[in-house]
């Protein structure tokens, strides 16, 4: 017999999917209006950012891993845009098409989630202009609460052509790593309740994630007591003048090219 809690959860999920379908349909219309210029790029982008943020917030409260990942990536993608043209509209279309399929019940097996996430357009890191860069199918997850610091790391990785995504919360990071299987996880030492050492140790302890390269971003150097317990395989990326060299060394160490 279905419990009241299960019935309530089922109702909440059903309502979310109904709203997801309505929002995806409305965004399809919006993209069409932006292409025909019956809606200005500025107005359309503002609406896209608002709706993407709402979808991401709603999805985070539910046990729907793939929808969480896709709405997170859409929010990141549009959040970085200061303007939108035909190329950006085409890439946003990919997100909306995928969300429509998810709303209609077309999901993916756990093993297929990483490939599906990588099929989504990579966000265009703001303020990065290094000329022609070869885009690589390399996913780096940043678990960095500080926005300024995450921006610095993203710029360096974008210069290498790598895809990045940022998660601020270490508990959300655990779920994200399990389902998206990034090629590298870079975590700040200070993550609130947990530390970068805690997160690295947790990932190293789970068979499903223990093979994923991990690096801690910190001002500490090797031998510091707070780094005790860091898995031996983990790398250290120090803040300050050594940052660029440490990042390059970590990428080379894990054979990430």
Topology alike, domains 4-115 and 139-253: no
- Tens-place pLDDT, residues 72-82: 999 999 999 99
* CA dist., res. 191 & res. 168, Å (int): 8
- Global pTM reads 0.90
- Give the CATH fold of the 139-253 domain: Rossmann fold (3.40.50)
**Which CATH code is given to the segment(s) 4-115?**
1.20.120.160
Q: Domain limits of the chain?
A: 4-115, 139-253
Condensed to tens digits (0 to 9), the pLDDT of residues 82-105 reads: 999 999 999 999 999 999 999 988
182 has a pLDDT exceeding 70:
yes
Report, as an integer, the average pLDDT of 53-57: 95
The pLDDT assigned to 6 comes to 77
State the average pLDDT for the chain.
91
């Amino acid at each position: 017999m279905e419990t009241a809690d299960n019935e309530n959860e089922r109702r909440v999920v059903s309502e979310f999917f109904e709203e997801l379908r309505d929002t995806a349909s409305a965004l399809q219309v919006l993209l069409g209006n932006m292409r025909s210029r019956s809606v200005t790029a500025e107005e359309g982008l503002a609406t896209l950012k608002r709706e993407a943020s709402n979808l991401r917030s709603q999805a985070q409260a539910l046990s729907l891993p793939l929808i969480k990942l896709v709405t997170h990536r859409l929010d990141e993608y549009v959040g970085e845009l200061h303007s939108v043209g035909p190329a950006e509209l085409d890439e946003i279309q990919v997100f909306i098409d995928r969300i429509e399929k998810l709303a209609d019940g077309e999901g993916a097996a756990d093993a297929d989630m990483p490939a599906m996430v990588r099929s989504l357009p990579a966000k265009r890191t703001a303020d990065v202009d290094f000329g022609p860069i070869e885009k690589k199918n390399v996913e780096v997850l940043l678990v960095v609460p500080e926005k300024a610091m995450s921006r610095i790391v993203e710029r360096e990785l974008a210069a290498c052509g790598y895809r990045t995504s940022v998660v601020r919360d270490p508990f959300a990071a655990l779920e994200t790593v399990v389902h998206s299987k990034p090629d590298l996880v870079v975590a700040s030492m200070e993550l609130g309740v947990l530390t970068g050492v805690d997160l690295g140790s947790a990932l190293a302890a789970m068979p499903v994630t223990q093979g994923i390269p991990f690096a801690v971003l910190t001002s500490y150097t090797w031998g510091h007591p707070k780094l005790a317990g860091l898995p031996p395989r983990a790398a250290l990326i120090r803040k300050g003048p050594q940052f660029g060299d440490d990042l390059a060394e970590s990428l080379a160490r894990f054979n990430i090219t």
